[in-house]
Amino acid sequence: MDKLQVVGGKRLEGEIVISGAKNAALPILCAGLLTSGDLELSNVPRLHDVKTILKLLAQTGLKVTQDDEKVTLNGSAITTLEAPYELVKTMRASILVLGPLLARFGEAKVSLPGGCAIGSRPVDQHIKGLQALGADITIEGGYIHAKCKKLKGARIRTDMITVTGTENLLMAATLADGETVLENAAREPEVTDLANLLVAMGARIEGIGTDRLVIQGVAELHGARHAVISDRIEAATFLCAVAATGGDILLRNTRTDYFDVALDKLREIGLVMTMGPESIRAQMGGRPKPVSFRTTEYPGFPTDMQAQFMAVDTIASGSSRITETIFENRFMHVQEMNRLGASIQTEGNTAHVKGVDRLVGAPVMATDLRASASLVIAAMAAQGTTIIDRIYHLDRGYDRMEVKLSAVGADIVRIK
Ligand code: EPZ
C-alpha cells in the first residue's frame, strides 16, 4: 500500500495544470452507452476512478480506446447489460450505468453500491425516478434488476437534491417517450457539463443549469466530440494548499466562473487571486484568517471542499465553525488532523476549529478521497515529517497530486 512522505514548511511557487473534472468525466463516460455512434472525449483526467468506470464499461461491450486524456467510446456492440458487484463496490458512481442501459436496451442489472466511509449514500431516488419513468425494478441478491420495454416521460421531483440521481434520470429521460420534467434537479457544473454533452449528442433538454430540467425524448442519440470541464475541486484544493503554506502559484486550464463561494472564502482567508480567462494566480503571505461555512448543494459551499478548507482553518489566526449538511459522516479527517496538533472539536455535524500556531508532523491515515487531500495540505503546513497511509483514496480523485505539488516546491514523495 503506497504512502506519501511530506516534509512541511515549504512555500509553493510555480505553475500547476488543472485536470478534467472527475465528477463530470464519470457520468459523461457512461453516456457512451446511450449511442451506437462515436463519443470522442478530451481532457479526461487520469484517475483510478476513471480506470474503474472504463473497465466496467468495456465489460458491457462498449468499445473503449484511450490515449492519455483522450478517450473514444463506441456503443454499437453492447452485449452485457450488467454492472457486477466486484467493480461497483469499489466505486459508487458505477450506478451511473443504470439509466443509460435501461433507456437504450430496456434492461439493466446493477449491483447496489455498498455504503462508503462518508455516509450510507443510498440510491433510493435513482430507483424512484426510474420507476416513475415506467421501469419495473426489483432488488434481489444485492442487485438492482430494472426492466422496461420503453421508458415513458414523467414529472419527477426527487426528495432531496442528488447529483448522480439527477444525472442517471437525465440520461434515461433523453431516450424516453415524450416529455420528462426533473424538479429539484442538481445544478452542479458537472451536471451541466453532462447535459451539454447530451445536447451535442442530439438530446433535447431545456433549463440546463437550473433546478428544473425539461427533456423531450428522442428515438436515438448520435456520437459527439466533447472536452470535459476542468476540475473545480482540484483547483480549490491547490488554492487551499498555497493558502496554508504561503507562496505564489499559477493554476492553468481552470475555469474561474463556477466556484465563486469558495473563491470568496479564499479571499476572506487572505489569498490574493488574479483571474485570467483560464487561469488563476494565487499569492499568499502571512497567516491565514479563519473562515466559517456550512456546506450545501451548488451554488452553495461544496461539500467536496470542506476538508481542504478545514486544513487551512487549523492554523488560522482564530476560531471557525464548519457545518457539513450533505453527508452524515464527513469529519473523519478531524481525528487525523488532531494527531498533527490541530484543535478541532466536533458536535454532531458541526466542527469547531481553534487555529493553532503550528502543526507538527506525525503518521496519519487517509480515510476517504477529500480527507486525504486535506491531510496533504495539513502535512505541507506542519513542521517536520508526516507519513500519510492508505493514499489509494487520494489516487481515486487526484491526477498525480504529489507530482504536481513537487513541481512547485513541496517536499512530498510517494513511498511504496
Ligand atoms: C456526488 O455524489 C459526487 N460524486 C460526490 O463527490 C459529491 O460529494 C456529492 O455528489 C455531493 O455534491 C460524483 O459526482 C461521482 P448525492 P452523489 O446523490 O451523487 C443523499 C467526491 O469527493 N441521497 O448528491 O453520490 C446522499 O446520501 C465525491 O468527488 C439519498 O438519500 O451524492 C447524500 O446525503 C464524494 N438518496 C445526499 O443525498 C439517493 O438516492 C447527496 O448525495 C441519492 C442521494
Query: For atom 20 of ligand 1, which residue has the closest CA?
Result: 121
The ligand 1 atom nearest the CA atom of 326 = 34
- CB of 44 within 6 A of ligand 1: the answer is no
Q: Counting atoms of ligand 1 from 1, which one is nearest the CA of 368? A: 22
Does 162 sit in the ligand 1 pocket, CB within 6 Å?
A: yes
**Amino acid identity, residue 340?**
L
Is 116 designated active site?
yes
How crowded is residue 264: how many other Cβ atoms within 10 Å of its Cβ?
Answer: 13
- Closest to 14 measured CA to CA, from 238, 257, 231, 230: 238
* Atom 5 in ligand 1: residue holding the nearest Cα: 304
Q: For residues 384 and 7, give the distance between their C-alpha atoms in angstroms, rounded to a whole number.
A: 5
List, as one string, the DSSP characters of 222-245. Answer: --EEEEPPB-HHHHHHHHHHHHHH
Displacement of CA 110 from its chain's centroid (Å)? 21
Identify whether the C-beta of residue 110 lies closer than 8 Å to the C-beta of residue 30. no
Distance between CA atoms of 55 and 35, rounded to whole angstroms? 18
At residue 115, the pLDDT reads 67
Instruction: Report CA(161)–ligand 1 centroid distance (Å).
Output: 9
What's the number of CA atoms in the CB half-sphere (13 Å) around residue 313? 25
178's grid cell: 415524450
- CB of 182 within 8 A of CB of 173? yes
Closest ligand 1 atom to the C-alpha of 190? 14
Provide the edge-to-edge strand list for the sheet that holds 63-67.
Answer: 63-67, 70-74, 38-42, 224-227
One-letter amino acid at 321 equals: R
CA dist., res. 249 & res. 257, Å (int): 19
Separation between Cα atoms, residue 304 and residue 234, nearest integer Å: 10
Q: Is 23 in the pocket of ligand 1 (CB under 6 A)?
A: yes
The sign one gets for the Cα dihedral 253, 257, 261, 265 is: positive
Q: Is the CB of 300 under 6 A from ligand 1?
A: no
Ligand 1 centroid – CA 317 distance (Å): 33
For the Cβ of 19 lying below 6 angstroms from any atom of ligand 1, the answer is no
Nearest CA to ligand 1 atom 16: 162
Ligand 1 atom at minimum distance from 120 CA: 27
Whether the full predicted model's pTM is greater than 0.95, yes or no, is yes
- Phi then psi for 184, rounded to 5 degrees? 65, 30
Cβ burial 217-254 (10 Å sphere, 16+ → b, else e): beeebebbebebbbbbbbbbbbbbbbbbbbbbbbbeeb
Report DSSP letters for 95-164, one per residue. GGGHHHHHHHHSEEEEEPP--BTTB----HHHHHHHHHTT-EEEEETTEEEEE-SS-B--EEE-SS--HH
| Distance from C-alpha of 270 to C-alpha of 213, rounded to nearest angstrom | 38
pLDDT along the chain (416 residues), means of 10: 96 98 98 98 97 96 96 97 90 95 97 78 94 96 95 98 98 98 98 98 98 98 98 98 98 94 97 96 97 98 98 98 95 97 98 98 96 98 98 94 98 96
Q: Is 126 in the pocket of ligand 1 (CB under 6 A)?
A: yes
